[in-house]
Amino acid sequence: MSRVPSERPGPAGGARDRNRQEKVERLGKAAMALFLQRGIDLVTIDDIVERAGFSKGSFYRYFEDKEALVETLLEPIAEIFRAAAVVLANTPPELLESAYIQMAMTLGRAVFTHPDVVRLYLQESRGPAVGARRPVRKLADEIADRAVALGISARQTGLYKVLDTRVVTLAIIGAAERLLHEHLAREPFADPIEAGRALVELVNEGLRPR
């Protein structure tokens, strides 16, 4: 959740550098708690610095604005998703089914490692792409666009039925997000990775030509 600014106060790993990273971390944690409680739009920079115990000037030493902070908070799951998408894009067609399962398991692990970031994404990804919510919607649109492109490639292999790829892909994304919401906000699955695997297997079974 932290971002180390380009200009360091002293050598990397030194006392002043660690102090800077700790402050960035505290600001991020304060913002995350408030965002999840109230929503991004209703939280001000004043709210964040008050909760973190810093001055407003300290915030602007590390972040240009609230949007930059939100983008930083999203980085962990954005990196996980992009890495998984690259693997899928370079997978031979005959191995796509197993690759989809591996991707589901990889994304499922993000629930363990970054649950609050995933909750924030789910909470804000359907809202207008304005203000500090823009990074969330940008990531949501990137996920949709990449998934549709991968779906088109998969359909061209002949492994799946000839259906409207965009409709099918967006439906799958919606189902995956609902599973994540159930796990994080309502009743946790005993094993979210296996829940993701089950969804992928269900989709593969339904899309294979008869």
Cα distances from 3 to residues 7, 72, 82, 144, 191, in angstroms, run 12, 6, 18, 26, 31
pLDDT value of position 12: 62
Q: pLDDT 10s digit of each residue in the chain, 210 long? A: 444 444 545 566 677 777 888 999 999 999 999 999 999 999 999 999 999 999 999 999 999 999 999 999 999 999 998 888 888 888 887 777 777 777 777 777 788 899 999 999 999 999 999 999 999 999 999 999 988 888 887 778 777 788 888 898 889 889 888 988 999 988 998 888 788 888 888 888 888 887
Q: What ranges make up the beta strands (E) of the chain? A: none
Q: Report whether 42 contacts 127 (CB < 8 A).
A: no
For residue 129 the two structure tokens come to 């792409």
Written out in words, the top-level CATH class of the domain with range 73-207 is mainly alpha
Domain regions of the chain by residue span: 15-63, 73-207
Domain pair 15-63 / 73-207, same fold: no
**What pLDDT does 109 receive?**
78
pLDDT at residue 11 in the model: 64
pLDDT at residue 4, as a whole number: 44
Residue 189 Cα distances to 50, 160, 182, 209, angstroms:
36, 29, 8, 31
Q: At what angle do helices 165-181 and 192-207 cross, to 10 degrees?
A: 160
User: Domain 15-63 has what CATH class?
Assistant: mainly alpha
